[in-house]
Structure 1
Amino acid sequence: MKSHHVDLLNEAIAPALTRLALPIMATSLVQMLYNLTDMAWIGRLGAGAVTAVGSAGMYTWFSQGFAILARTGGQVKTAHCLGAGENDSAAQYARGALQLGILFAVLYGLVSLFGASRLIGFFKLNSPEVIAQAEWYVRIACGLVIFSYLNAILTGLLTAAGNSRTPFIVNVAGLVFNVVLDPVLIFGIGPFPELGVSGAAAATVTAQALVSLLFFKAVLREKVLFPHLRLWVLVPVKVWREIVRIGVPSAVQNLIYAGISMILTRLITGWGDLAVAAQRVGSQIESVSWMVGDGFSAAVNAFLGQNYGAKRYDRVRRGYFCAIAMTAAWGLCTTFLLIGMARPLFSIFLQEEEVMALGVNYLRIVGLSQMFMMVEQTSIGAFSGLGRTLYPSIVSVTFTSARIPVAVLLSSVMGLSGIWWALSISSMVKGCILFVSFVVFLYVFLERKKIEKTV
């Protein structure tokens, strides 16, 4: 296991960030492929099935806000303790994060199982068949969300320890399993019945359960963070309190972000169920950018967190600018991909011409904002790595919330395209503000440390 770790305190910055980030980005791409695999198979059932999964999928996205609370708080405090050489405290924060994640998963699962009809009713979909499919997807995918929670938290904790290779390996195994199960459960092969949309949810949950099993097998060999896993032994309340303190801003940000997207989806249904299908497929294609950004954000979080804990402030500064250069380059590549290859990319999932026109327009408009979105995510990860999660959350929530009035205003003039432009413009603004803010914060922070050192 030792060879799987990156020395974030002593290795050269660019190689260390690259070695840590590449498996994380690959893991994020694997997680994205889970969704794309589902979408590719579900697309064969027609736009109605895509609309059902798109609507229900909003609640799987919303659920991640609670996992993010435990993951972010646990990852940041674990990285700080490891950087300071306090391994016992790091192990305690790791166990506390897992305990919180399990609690949140059980509560969210119960709400999803018994409240699926009310949850899907929010979107005011038109087709009774689509509504029924969406309700079953919520019951399965969100009712058993515990595996997704455990995987996210364990990924964050291992990343904090400099081990991003293990999460990549186990997630690839889960993807392979999901690819095999999807057609079997969706269309019914051999002794398995045809389950349609419910089969897609069942395949994903089963694959996530396999990933959880592989994760626990791996962490039992992790002697630093998990010398004795003992999840049934509760950590002191102060550990949970500190995890919650750091994790809440990021969690609230995700919850509000998902909630705003739900409201926008409800606006989109005003143009018909096909518009929802176009947005769902388009957002999944776009995830080739933002899921990589999210993965790289985790790497920056761990790198800055450990070096901050070790008081290696110059490496904090250089690490951030190195990360920005790498993620901005990826964002530019994604912009050219989404704009130049919009039609071929969308046609992989749906071929109906009416949906195709809507989806291509979506990809070309949001494609303009990809670099800014990557910079935003990297800066959020940098702020979080230093334990400053409140400010980036305020910025992100404020300008993401602005999407609703801007979308209403622009759509009254430009139609459905106005909603796409609201998404793109807000990402550009957030990226610029957070980049400038972190640069200013770094300058003030480092100058204060120089003064303290001379006193």
Structure 2
Amino acid sequence: MLNGDIAKTLKSMTIPMIVGMIMLMTFSIVDTFFVSMLGTEQLAAISFTFPVTFTVISLNIGLGIGTSAIIGKYIGSGDTVHAKTIATGALMLSALLVGILAVVGVFSIEFIFSLMGADETLMPFIKAYMVPWYLAGIFLAIPMVGNSVLRAFGDTKTPSIIMAAGGAINAVLDPILIFGWGPMPALGIQGAAIATAIAWAVCVVWILYLLAVKRQLIESRLLSLQEFIVASKGVLKIGLPAAGANMLTPIAGGVMTAVVATYGAEAVAAWGVGNRLESMASIIVLALSMSLPPFISQNYGANKLARIKTAFDMAAKFVMLWQLMVFVILVIFSGYIAQVFAEEASVKRDITLFLCIVPLGYGLQGIIILVNSSFNAMHKPMSALVLSILRLFVFYVPIASLGSYLYGLIGLFWGCVIANVVTSVLAYIWFNRNLKNEMALQTFSPVLGSEK
């Protein structure tokens, strides 16, 4: 990562991530597909859960970002001893924080989802899904942060295999637990969450064995309180702002879900399907956003800023071209996709409308995601947090809400695209100006040193 061909290095790191991310995304897509067979109310219920479940996932993503950034910089500077302690502390921290969040979540289900606009007919389905899902969220914490440790050391293949295995287990268990099979009773929407919990529990055992026994990248013991505090401070310095930035997305999503709810359960169902398809359609961007930070962190630790600029520019150009192609494909097949996920004509219509408008902004959204992950990799988490706040609450929610007020659901969809246009331009200029200033400072520092 420090001296090899940049394009080849990014390609070799990203391709395994794509496979793993596809399988990871199948958790929500497969759940949505099988739950849609239960009826529109169940589909609307699981659509309401997306902002909340993504809040828990976002905390794990943020902690993973902090872990990867700290470990990557230590590796780049040649200090692997501290990297091992940080990795152990990060795993302990993630399990603790997500556990607390899960307990709070279980006791606030009615309050949270009522605020989002869920009515009494949907609440039983939401509770049936969310209670076991919160348990699953605790199981998710360790594999997600553990995979970040592996990526920080340059291994993106193994995390992809683990994610793929988890997705496969979930896909097999979903129909069995949802609809019943043999002696197994039909659990309905609750079965989808239980399948997810089992899949992630398997991944917990796997990742801990790899990190502690086979690779010895973490301590095979719990850290002392003092060690834990020191390690946590390092991770939280970047991880908390990163988690906060990621958790703003589902909060904004919750606000937008409440806006969409004014159009009825059918619109919420379509919105939920569209958001899950967005994750699949943006798979390349998400893979790059996870493979690019270790590259940037190690080169940042080694003071090789020119390689960072080259890598970022390559990634940005590729994302724009790729997502444009994805948009064209989604428009062409929008009608067929709608038929897969919905039976009611109104839901099919809204899904088709979503796919013909919102994906136009995915490439621009990809630039924002890359800038955000790059800021975190360069130990500038507050810049990433501010960018997220601007994107979601200065542009995305206000513009989309205004579009909804003026032109209905179609105005809301176009508002999402316009918000991505404005934010991506701001993000691109901001990151390049920041990197240019650091490169100038790096060039100027040796001169000052020689004068001294």
TM range (shorter): over 0.9
The 2-side partners of 1:448 and 1:364 are apart by: 46
Partner SS for 1:143: helix
1:295 is displaced (CA, Å) by 2.3
**Could you tell me whether the CA contact under 8 Å between 1:406 and 1:422 is conserved in 2?**
yes
Deviation readout 1:311-338 (Å, 9 max, x if unpaired): 2222222222222223223222222122
1:119 is displaced (CA, Å) by 2.4
Map of 1:307 onto structure 2: 299
TM (normalized to structure 1)? 0.94
**Residues 191-230 of structure 1: matches in 2 within 5 Å?**
191-221=183-213, 223=215, 225-226=217-218, 228-230=219-221
Partner SS for 2:135: coil
1:236 is displaced (CA, Å) by 4.5
Deviation readout 1:107-162 (Å, 9 max, x if unpaired): 0121122222222222232352x210111211111233111111211121111110
**Residues 379-418 of structure 1: matches in 2 within 5 Å?**
379-402=371-394, 403-418=396-411
Partner SS for 2:117: coil
Map of 2:367 onto structure 1: 375
Map of 1:122 onto structure 2: 115
Q: Which AA in structure 2 matches 1:331? A: Q
**Could you tell me whether the CA contact under 8 Å between 2:76 and 2:302 is conserved in 1?**
yes
Partner SS for 2:108: helix
The 2-side partners of 1:224 and 1:163 are apart by: 14
Deviation readout 1:239-277 (Å, 9 max, x if unpaired): 312211112222111222211110111111111111110
Map of 1:3 onto structure 2: none
Partner SS for 2:37: helix
Deviation readout 1:401-447 (Å, 9 max, x if unpaired): 13333233221221112222222222222222111211222222112
The 2-side partners of 1:440 and 1:376 are apart by: 15
Q: Which AA in structure 2 matches 1:14? A: A
With 196-205 and 344-353 compared, the bigger mean Cα shift is at 344-353
**Could you tell me whether the CA contact under 8 Å between 1:94 and 1:225 is conserved in 2?**
yes
Partner SS for 2:118: coil
2:138 to 138, 146, 154: 146
Correspondence 1:109 to 2:106: no
CA, structure 1 residues 444+222, in 2 after alignment: closer, same or farther (shift >3 Å)? farther
The 2-side partners of 1:127 and 1:341 are apart by: 35
Q: Which AA in structure 2 matches 1:52? A: A
**Could you tell me whether the CA contact under 8 Å between 1:59 and 1:142 is conserved in 2?**
no
- Aligned Cα RMSD in Å? 1.7
**Residues 24-423 of structure 1: matches in 2 within 5 Å?**
24-126=17-119, 128=121, 130-221=122-213, 223=215, 225-226=217-218, 228-231=219-222, 233-234=224-225, 235-402=227-394, 403-423=396-416
The 2-side partners of 1:254 and 1:70 are apart by: 10
Q: Which AA in structure 2 matches 1:347? A: Q
2:4 to 11, 15, 30: 11
1:371 is displaced (CA, Å) by 0.8
Q: Which AA in structure 1 matches 2:158? A: T
Q: Which AA in structure 2 matches 1:75? A: S
Q: Which AA in structure 2 matches 1:313? A: L
Partner SS for 2:136: coil
The 2-side partners of 1:83 and 1:70 are apart by: 20
The 2-side partners of 1:291 and 1:442 are apart by: 26
Partner SS for 2:348: helix
Q: Which AA in structure 2 matches 1:425? A: I
Map of 2:430 onto structure 1: 437
**Could you tell me whether the CA contact under 8 Å between 2:136 and 2:198 is conserved in 1?**
no
The 2-side partners of 1:291 and 1:393 are apart by: 22
Partner SS for 2:217: coil
The 1-side partners of 2:433 and 2:212 are apart by: 42
The 1-side partners of 2:216 and 2:367 are apart by: 32
The 1-side partners of 2:46 and 2:316 are apart by: 34
The 2-side partners of 1:149 and 1:292 are apart by: 23
Q: Which AA in structure 1 matches 2:359? A: G
**Could you tell me whether the CA contact under 8 Å between 1:74 and 1:97 is conserved in 2?**
yes
Map of 1:5 onto structure 2: none
The 2-side partners of 1:387 and 1:118 are apart by: 36
Q: Which AA in structure 1 matches 2:431? A: F
How many residues end up aligned between the 2 structures? 446
Deviation readout 1:278-335 (Å, 9 max, x if unpaired): 0001111111233432221121110010011112222222222222223223222222
Structure 1 unaligned residues grouped into runs of 5+: 1-7
**Could you tell me whether the CA contact under 8 Å between 2:6 and 2:311 is conserved in 1?**
yes
Q: Which AA in structure 2 matches 1:113? A: V
Partner SS for 1:229: coil
The 2-side partners of 1:223 and 1:33 are apart by: 28
The 2-side partners of 1:87 and 1:217 are apart by: 20
**Could you tell me whether the CA contact under 8 Å between 2:56 and 2:101 is conserved in 1?**
yes
**Could you tell me whether the CA contact under 8 Å between 1:109 and 1:144 is conserved in 2?**
no
**Could you tell me whether the CA contact under 8 Å between 1:24 and 1:299 is conserved in 2?**
yes
Deviation readout 1:49-86 (Å, 9 max, x if unpaired): 11111112321111123223321211100000011110
Identity %: 24
Partner SS for 1:348: helix
Deviation readout 1:157-209 (Å, 9 max, x if unpaired): 11111001111111111122111101000001111111110001111111111
CA, structure 1 residues 320+222, in 2 after alignment: closer, same or farther (shift >3 Å)? farther
**Could you tell me whether the CA contact under 8 Å between 1:87 and 1:224 is conserved in 2?**
no
